Amino acid sequence: MSDWIDFYDFKHSVIYVNARHRDVHYRIIAEDIRAYVPSQTAHVLDYGCGEATSADLIVAACAQLVLAEAAPNVRASLTMRYPGHPKIAVVTAEQVAALPKASFDLIVMHSVAQYLTTAELDRLLTMVRALLKPGGLFVLGDIVPPHLAAPAAALALLRFGAANGFFWAAAFGLVRITASDYLRLKKTVGLSHYTESAILERLKRSGFTAERAARNIGHNQSRMTFLCRANSR
C-alpha cells in the first residue's frame, strides 16, 4: 500500500476537522458529481471515492454506482454504510482494473491525482480510457496547481468552515495539520502538481480530448477539474 493510501486509511481526523466538515465536504462533492451523470440508466465509477458519505445522492440519479477505494479501512466503512445496496458496489483498485472494457458512462476521479506519481497517473488514465463506454465522460477533479497551493487550500478551508458553521474547528484543524503526518509525507513522498497546460498535455498523450471545467468539483476553486472524452481508437 502506498504511503498516501495508508495515510487516508487511518488519519481522517486530520483531514476532516470534524464530522460536520466531512459530511458537508462529501455532500457538495456528491452534488457536483451528480450534475455530470448523463441519465438515470448511467453506470458510474467514483475512483478513490474516500468515505463518500453522500453517495446516495449520486445513486439516486443513475443505475449503478461503483465506489472504488484502495484504503481497506475506508472500504470497510463504505461497505457498512451501504450494506447490500442494490445499486452500489464497493470495490478495490484491483477489482476495478479487472472490470470489462466499456463498463461506464461516467468515471470520476476527484482529489486523487496529487497522490500519484506521473507514471501511476498515466497507468490509471489508460485504465480509465478502457473502462469508458464510447462517448462516456471522464471527470478528473481537484488537480492542484504548482504555485501557492497550500495557502490557497488553507484559505479555502477557512471560507468553507465560515460558510458551513465550523470556522473555528477549521482554524484549529489547520494548526493540527502542521504537526501531522500530512506535512511529513508531503516532504518525504511528495504531492504531484500540474499546470493546466501540463495536465491537458498528459491527458492528450493518454488518448483524451479534454477541457477545463468552469469550476472545480468541491469547495476549493483554486484547483481544477477537467472534462475528458476518450478519442476513438
Ligand X SMILES: C[S@@+](CC[C@H](N)C(=O)[O-])C[C@H]1O[C@@H](n2cnc3c(N)ncnc32)[C@H](O)[C@@H]1O
Q: Which residues bind ligand X (CB under 6 A)?
A: 2, 4-5, 8, 29, 48-50, 69-71, 93, 110-112, 115-116, 120
Instruction: Give CA–CA dist 78/73, Å, rounded.
Output: 9
CA nearest to 44, candidates 95, 53, 54, 55:
55
Beta-carbon neighbour count of residue 184 at 10 Å?
A: 12
Q: How far is the CB of 68 from ligand X (least distance, A)?
A: 8
CA distances from 188 to 165, 171, 192 (A): 34, 25, 12
Nearer to ligand X, 157 or 209 (CB): 157
DSSP class of 41: T
Nearer to ligand X, 167 or 182 (CB): 182
Q: How far is the CB of 189 from ligand X (least distance, A)?
A: 10
Nearer to ligand X, 23 or 212 (CB): 23
Q: How many CA atoms lie within 13 A of 180 on its CB side?
A: 20
Q: How far is the CB of 66 from ligand X (least distance, A)?
A: 13
Beta-carbon neighbour count of residue 180 at 10 Å?
A: 16
Q: How far is the CB of 117 from ligand X (least distance, A)?
A: 8
Q: How far is the CB of 134 from ligand X (least distance, A)?
A: 26
Instruction: Give CA–CA dist 213/118, Å, rounded.
Output: 22
Quickly tell me which residue has 468515505 as its cell.
51
C-alpha cell, 9: 486509511
Nearer to ligand X, 33 or 200 (CB): 33
Nearer to ligand X, 2 or 79 (CB): 2
CA distances from 10 to 1, 19, 167 (A): 13, 15, 24
Instruction: Give CA–CA dist 172/16, Å, rounded.
Output: 11
Q: How far is the CB of 33 from ligand X (least distance, A)?
A: 9
Q: How far is the CB of 70 from ligand X (least distance, A)?
A: 4
Beta-carbon neighbour count of residue 163 at 10 Å?
A: 11
* Nearest residue to the partner ligand X, using Cβ: 50
Nearer to ligand X, 112 or 230 (CB): 112
Instruction: Give CA–CA dist 106/39, Å, rounded.
Output: 10
Nearer to ligand X, 14 or 169 (CB): 14
